[in-house]
Structure 1
């Protein structure tokens, strides 16, 4: 899905950037009601019109060097009440710090953070490919600890294939996982493992009916601040009655700063049996469960909200189900917002 219209920057004057045109469907930035604030219908749309899985069905996709993060009003922001009651905001951009990242209420396939041609089931726990290799990421990432999830190959017609594993936010969505430095994957054909387009023999292949396990181990590092981005300094754009933070990709800078995460590991399992360590000392960063599919194979996912087919792996490897990231991520996002307001105390003005 494409965007159109112009995006207004919603930072203070010192932090504003030039306007950028969006292409495709109609999009408008932070429109305001008669009293100068977002119309009540806009705010209620954010809160009341979201599906049960917590994400709009019509949304901007992450692509063309830009990422879009769903936002909601931040009740703890300074001057929140003054802003809501002010009659002086007509036609003005909305400061991003008055909003906060809307944290997903379950680990699911991300609707916006995927190749648009991939088909996602209504419950967002199944993915079907289309033609050439392309990828979907999930809603939650991990930066430390040991985390596990499962995928079952529901259908794998002749000629189709999958590469599944873990990818960072800049792993190319229009490529197989493991194409670049941001992804690590396990391929169905011949069981090959892939990173940075280098394939190496790892295990036997897998196919229709197999349940695969994916474990990532990221030991905690001293001196690292494990908090997510607040995006509060980024502009807000409006699309189909919802507000999103707009953030520009920083791929080249991230590539330059990639560092090894000491003692990190990725391990794959097939029908409950460990296939051995696939990758060691991977790059540091935030890793999402990621699925790439060639042609029209279908893969279902289980992040632990329902019992795993092989729950004994959790105890044996002392790891947590990805589902447990939901509550932890809400806490981390709240802490990040608190730090932002503390560090900018006295600097934020309407």
Structure 2
């Protein structure tokens, strides 16, 4: 009898441990199908942490008497499971596909989504610009008076965040009504939000000055590919000499150039590796705080001078090959001239916030990297403080470090009063992720392009220096590819048009007027005709509209192709009624000291 009892006991244990299909009902998916796949910082239960591709259903329910057997460290290392020593772990090639999950809707392929309170009635009103308070007036070189204003009632881009105006729109219910918008003054101008404090502007946003040390302001447009041109007139700066040998006097100083998002606003253009600048003193070029002679001897920048800046960047498809380490100059440079345009993958993680009378989208900005800090301070002990951190290899398109890769066929050229001064910078540093990295904040995701990366026109002013920007299309001195093209001094700008043939008129002395014959290419970014930066503003508006629609459709698809009621008793057919639903908190109010 003992033998029979033992056999029955073994048989029952065998059935309990066998992988037979159980008849118990399986756990269903969450009914709240519009919940974000990534935990929100507004989550009332922040202690629940999920992995990137794990949902609440993936967490096993631990009933009484049930325990999960843990594998030993040695067994995990033999299988290459994360958590052991990665240097010793040998991944199984059979599981390679499973270890590289593809982006899923609602995670890597779409923005993060937050649970918000319903919008206020004022959120549906058009965005308003800053409040202007008259500060002082100065005389321009032509004798006219320039009024400068102190701007207030707007937020500044600092503390690792970037702000853009938004508005509530009933046509965007799945993304909870908010979409991007622009306040007055419309068009390309210096950004009121993307400027350092204690800077004074005119009401058009085109004129800027300060009574403090060097401050910088970026424009509201970014260059990501193609050839673009803009001008800057020095209205307060070095005073032209009235007689030979007279002492040099100035009303202040000005620097101008291009700056990325990571460039500090409390420093001049060209201070770090994220900006390229031209200084008024002797017309020197500056990058990483290293001024170098650039203008011909005897040339500098004085009050009344107009400096034109031309920038060329390769197409974004070639740019992505460079930052992803897939660039092959033998193939990609040839294909660049005939390849069709490829749209970027823009993912914008942002949340609406309130600031006084405005509502903004708050986005995590990009930060400086250790590699570029070490590049600026090439020493055995770099800026990061680690011994031997300086890179021995100069920046190039195939550098092993993504942030030190450069863009082939990129340059910045400079003109003074219509005269070509030369090519100031070549092989500009790449800026698309992973060359740029977001700040380490809650909700920040690596290798995401939010559409705001690029090279921005930038101006720095110092103690009374003032400048006026002109983004076209009506330039004081038209760019080389238009009628009335500028003269050259020492170098012809024909190569700026990709080496196209030129029609030459006038041969007196060493001054030649050129009109490049521009040939149309399929890819506008591949050495196409030079365009005024004012047109880039229009392109950027179109890109924002398309991205807003893509986000709305993406969220709508996550909700199963229907508009989810998330405001308390309203469905897609109901009238839009605004107000704070009971029990819901208000959108956070931003407090920022000037």
Which TM bucket (shorter chain)?
Answer: 0.7 to 0.9
User: In the alignment, what sits opposite 1:83?
Assistant: none
Distance apart, 1:179 and its partner CA: 0.8
Which moves more between the two structures, 66-75 or 205-214? 66-75
Question: Using a 3 Å threshold, how does the CA distance of structure 1 residues 159 and 134 change in structure 2: closer, same or farther?
Answer: same
Contact 1:136 1:290 in 2 (8 A): yes
* Alpha-carbon distance, 1:42 to partner: 3.7
Who is 1:153 aligned against? 234
Of 392, 409, 418 in structure 2, the residue corresponding to residue 272 of structure 1 is 418
Give yes or no for the alignment of 1:324 onto 2:535.
yes
Alignment deviations for residues 233-277 of structure 1 (CA, whole Å, 9 cap, x no partner): 322110123211122233146967423111101001101011110
Which residue among 292, 303, 323 is the counterpart of 2:460? 292
The superposition leaves residues 205-259 of structure 1 with CA deviations (integer Å, 9 ceiling, x where unpaired) of: 201010110110112143646558563x322110123211122233146967423
| Structure of greater Rg | 2
> Contact 2:406–2:429 at 8 Å: present in 1 too?
yes
Give the Cα separation in 1 of the matches to 2:366 and 2:479. 40
Partner of 2:427: 281
Matched residue SS, 1:173: coil
Secondary structure class of the residue paired with 1:235 = strand
Q: Which of 248, 256, 261 is 2:407 aligned to?
A: 261
2:136 aligned with 1:41: no
- Match for residue 69 of structure 2? none
Match of 1:194 in 2: 286
The equivalent residue for 1:234 is 350
Q: TM-score, normalised by structure 1?
A: 0.77
- Equivalent-residue separation in structure 2 for 1:73 and 1:341 (angstroms): 13
My pick for the range that moved more, 105-114 or 59-68, is 59-68
Find the aligned partners of 2:122 and 2:316 in 1 and give their Cα distance: 45
- Contact preservation (8 Å) 2:232, 2:308: yes
Name the one with the larger strand percent.
Answer: 1
Partner of 1:99 in structure 2? Answer: 178
TM-superposition CA deviations, 1:123-155 (whole Å, max 9, x none):
111011222111010111110011101111111
Q: Deviations over 1:174-225 (max 9, x none)?
A: 0011111110000000111111112211113201010110110112143646
Verify: 1:144 aligned to 2:221, yes or no. Answer: no
Q: Quick one: distance in 1 between partners of 2:345 and 2:191? A: 17
CA distance in 2, matches of 1:110, 1:272: 26
Name the CA shift for 1:100/1:39 in 2 (closer, same or farther; >3 Å).
Answer: closer
1:43: Cα distance to partner? 2.4
Q: Does 1:338 align with 2:517?
A: no
**Gap change, CA 1:227 and 1:114, over 3 Å in 2:** farther
- Residue 156 (structure 1) shift: 1.5
Query: How do residues 124-143 of structure 1 correspond to structure 2 at under 5 angstroms?
Result: 124-143=205-224
Where do residues 18-57 of structure 1 align in structure 2 (5 Å cutoff)?
A: 37-44=118-125, 47=126, 49-50=128-129
Q: Deviations over 1:266-305 (max 9, x none)?
A: 0011010111100001012301110011211110111115
**DSSP-derived class of the 2:282 partner:** coil
Higher relative contact order (CA 8 A, sep 6+): 1
1:249 matched to 2:365? The reply is yes
CA distance in 1, matches of 2:466, 2:303: 9
What does residue 26 of structure 1 align with? none
SS, match of residue 158 in structure 2:
coil
Q: Number of paired residues?
A: 304
Q: Residue 300 of structure 2 aligns to a residue in which SS?
A: coil
Gap change, CA 1:257 and 1:57, over 3 Å in 2: farther
Deviations 1:96-130 (CA, angstroms, capped at 9, x unpaired)? x5312224630011001001111111111101122
1:29 corresponding residue in structure 2 = none
TM-score, normalised relative to structure 2: 0.47
CA contact (8 A) 1:137 1:290 kept: yes
Question: Which SS does the other structure have where 1:267 is aligned?
Answer: strand
Match of 2:476 among 306, 309, 318: 309
Looking at structure 1, the residues matched to 224 and 38 of structure 2 have their Cα atoms a distance apart, in angstroms, of 32
Match of 1:16 in 2: 40
Measured after TM superposition, the shift of residue 320 of structure 1 is: 0.5
Q: Tell me, in whole angstroms, the C-alpha distance in 2 between the residues paired with 1:222 and 1:247.
A: 25
Which runs of no fewer than 5 residues in structure 2 stay unpaired?
Answer: 1-34, 44-115, 133-150, 239-249, 321-341, 373-400, 432-453, 486-496, 498-528, 567-594
